[in-house]
Amino acid sequence: MAEDLALYLEKFRQRLPAALEELRGPVAGVVELPVHVVWSGMSAYDLGKPRQRMGLYRTVLHEGLREGLPRYLHHELLLQLWPTLRRLVGRTVRSVWEDAFPQLAARGRPAV
Q: What is the pTM of this model?
A: 0.90
Which parts of the chain register pLDDT below 50? 112
What local confidence, expressed as pLDDT, does residue 55 receive?
Answer: 96
Distance CA 33, CA 38 (A): 6
Distance CA 109, CA 112 (A): 9
